[in-house]
Amino acid sequence: MKQGQIQQLKNLMQNLQQQDTTDLRDQIVSDIYARTEEIVTQTVMLPENKAQHEFDRRLDNVLTSRWLGYPIMMLMLGTVFYLTIAGANLPSSMLADFFFWIEGYLTTFFLWLGTPAWVHGVLVEGLYRGTAWVVSVMLPPMAIFFPAFAILEDFGYLPRVAFNLDRFFKKAGAHGKQALTMSMGFGCNAAGVIACRIIESPRERTIAIITNNFVPCNGRFPTLITLATLFMGGAIGLAYGSLVATAVVVGLVLVGISVTLSVSWLLSKTMLRGIPSNFTLELPPYRKPQFGRLLIRSVYDRTVFVLKRAVIVAAPAGIATWILANIQVGDASILQHTALFLDPFAQAIGLDGYILMAFILGLPANEIVLPILIMSYLSTGAMTEMSSLVELKNLFLSNGWTWLTALCMMLFSLLHYPCGTTMWTIAKETKSTKWTLVAILLPTSIALSVCFLVAQTVRFFGLV
């Protein structure tokens, strides 16, 4: 086909458009529907009673009800997190026990081989330990969270969430479907950013892309869950520990949603001004989730996929951290020097130099922030063996942590810049350096301000 031929077609269309063809266009669509109706009338026999419609209607009367709609939403979210937190505890510590039991044998093996100490350091204390932590901290919550979430998805509940929340998104100048893309972000922000393609208007799509980062992804949940369990759950008797930790995580998610709405509002009043575009959302019939297939798919597609990515990134990061922690310059390692350098600034926002550095080194993937932090602390010689969550907490405490440190780290994790993969995805999706930069700088400055305010306020009132 040649340029000339296309030009002729364009001319043809232009000529047609000069006449008013709205009628004709409507007619084309109406005719297709008329044809469909004709076929359906001839071939489909509908029953007299509409039991299924009734069932859906009654369920929707509850799930999107004026009074119960929002509480049920919170309850569902809470239940999923509670199951994840309470259910992941035991397998997490079992996995950790298992991996560190293996580590003992690995060490023996390397001693037997007679390799130099640094080989053992890089491979076992760096690579193996980093990977082991990622797997044992991340695998159990993911293996629970993904299927649980997939059940809600398959059942048809997520569009109801978008339906319930649309009013708020509209007020914020954003699209109701943003609730759906946020749901995807719970799994992975990069996936959430790609999912923003379901929003047709470029303005609202850009808003959704920039703010997707404020829902904690699977790489950040383990950090939030672990810290909530250690510092917020443990404070009260064990029986309610998981419930309190759940409440904290749900609270953080709500903070994330509020920030999403505020930032969306801000953007739609400033850089992305405009009227909200058309909104059509289908509420599909409720379907019985297919538990078996769901379980397989969510483990196979999401859990293994995310874990693989985490391990691939965590392994080299483990090596890098070990090297940084073990090359001495003067009286301290590079890691210690850097942490010391960052410390005053980090303290001002409630963190410490090691935490801030872990976030910086964790840029490739949020999954590795906590492992890097643990490795950094370990390399300072505070402790040599890791096997349980209690010891993990002791490690943090011995590095001067309080509940405020945990809270600020959680807030920073929730609000800070997106991970490397997500940044790259944003650049690809927006095809704009400007929006990519906004998507990086905006969350970062919000994270810094929020942590600064929280830390200073708490300290001012002498709460820690």
Partner 1 sequence: MSQHSFRDTHAVCTERFAIELPSPDELVIALAGNPNTGKSTVFNALTGMNQHTGNWAGKTVGSAIGRFRHQEHSFTLVDLPGTYSLLSQSADEQVARDFICFANPHATLVVTDATNLERNLNLALQVMEVTDRVVVAVNLMDEAKRKGITIDFVKLQAELGVPVIPMTARSGEGLNELKEMLWKVALGHVTPTPKLTTYSEQVERAVTALLPQVEPLVSGVLRSRWVALRLLDGDESVLQALEQYTLEHPRLFSTGDVVIPS
Partner 2 sequence: MEIIPLPDLLIGERARVVSLNATGAQRRRMLDLGLVPQAVIEALRKSPAGDPVAYRIRGAVIALRREEASLVMVTRI
Residue 113: contacted member of partner 1, partner 2, none (CB under 5 to 8 Å, by partner type): none
Residue number with CB closer to partner 2 (282 or 331): 282
- Of 61 and 457, which has the nearer Cβ to partner 2? 61
Q: How far is the CB of 165 from partner 2 (least distance, A)?
A: 8
Contacts 24+ apart (CB under 8 A), 377-385: 378/125, 379/321, 379/322, 379/325, 379/326, 379/333, 379/335, 380/325, 380/336, 385/100
What does the alpha-carbon distance between residue 299 and residue 313 come to, in Å, rounded to a whole number?
20
CA-derived radius of gyration, the chain: 26
What amino acid occupies position 147?
Answer: P
Q: Which is nearer to partner 1, 6 or 437 (CB)?
A: 6
Of residues 78 and 316, the one with the C-beta less far from partner 2: 78
Query: Which of the choices partner 2, partner 1, none does residue 384 contact, using the CB cut-off of 5 to 8 A by kind?
Result: none
Q: Residue 193 Cβ, how far from partner 1 at the closest point, in Å?
A: 11
H or E element at residue 400: none
The dihedral through the CA atoms of 6, 12, 15, 19 has a sign that is negative
Task: Report in angstroms how near the CB of residue 284 gets to partner 1 at its nearest.
Answer: 4
User: What beta strand segments (E) does 303-459 contain?
Assistant: 328-329, 332-333
Which one of partner 1, partner 2, none is in contact with 279 (Cβ closer than 5 to 8 A by kind)?
partner 2
Q: Residue 416: helix, strand or coil by DSSP?
A: coil
b/e burial code for range 201-217 (CB count within 10 A of at least 16 → b):
bebbbbbbbbbbbbbbb
With contact defined as beta carbons under 8 Å apart, do 131 and 314 qualify?
Answer: yes
Please choose which of partner 1, partner 2, none residue 340 contacts, taking the beta carbon within 5 to 8 angstroms, the exact cut-off set by kind.
Answer: none
Nearer to partner 2, 56 or 343 (CB): 56
Please, which residue, 187 or 362, has the CB nearer to partner 1?
187
Task: Say if residues 252 and 216 touch (Cβ distance below 8 Å).
Answer: yes
Least distance from partner 2 to the Cβ atom of residue 394, Å: 46
Residue that has been written with the tokens 């048809």 in this structure:
156
Considering the complex, what minimum distance in angstroms separates the CB of residue 139 from partner 1?
Answer: 20
Minimum distance, C-beta of residue 50 to partner 2, in the bound complex (Å):
11
Residue 12, binding choice from partner 2, partner 1, none, Cβ under 5 to 8 Å by partner class: partner 1
**Ramachandran area for residue 319 (φ above 0: left; ψ -120 to 50: alpha; else beta):** alpha
Q: Whose Cβ is closer to partner 2: residue 170's or residue 273's?
A: 170
405/412 Cα distance (integer angstroms): 10
d(Cα 120, Cα 104) in Å, to the nearest integer? 12
Among partner 1, partner 2, none, what binds residue 261 when CB lies within 5 to 8 Å by partner kind?
none
Angle at which helix 403-415 crosses helix 433-460, to 10 degrees, equals 160
DSSP code, position 286: P
Q: How many beta carbons lie within 10 A of that of residue 363, not counting itself? A: 18
**Closer residue to partner 2, CB minimum distance, 110 or 279:** 279
194 binds, among partner 2, partner 1, none (CB under 5 to 8 A by kind): partner 1
164 binds, among partner 2, partner 1, none (CB under 5 to 8 A by kind): partner 2
Q: Which two tokens stand for residue 237?
A: 């008797």
Name the binder of 297 from partner 1, partner 2, none, CB < 5-8 A by kind. Answer: partner 1
Query: Min. distance of Cβ 174 from partner 2 in angstroms?
Result: 12
Residue 332, phi then psi, degrees to nearest 5: -145, 165
Q: How far is the CB of 296 from partner 2 (least distance, A)?
A: 29
Residue type at 30 in one-letter notation: S
- Beta carbon nearer to partner 1, 6 or 235: 6
- Residues forming contacts to partner 1 in the complex (CB under 8 A) are 1, 3, 5-6, 8-10, 12-13, 16-17, 21, 23-25, 27-33, 35-37, 39-40, 42-47, 49, 51-52, 156, 194-195, 197-198, 200, 282, 284-285, 287, 290, 293, 297, 300-301
Q: Which does 329 bind (CB under 5 to 8 A by kind): partner 2, partner 1, none?
A: none
3-state secondary structure of 178: helix
Distance of CA 149 to the CA centre of its chain: 13
- Binding residues (CB under 8 A) for partner 2: these are 22, 25-26, 29-30, 33, 56-57, 60-61, 64-67, 69-70, 163-164, 166-168, 170, 176, 200, 276, 278-285
Q: Tell me the closest approach of the beta carbon of residue 184 to partner 2, in angstroms.
A: 19
CB of 435 to partner 1, least distance (A): 17
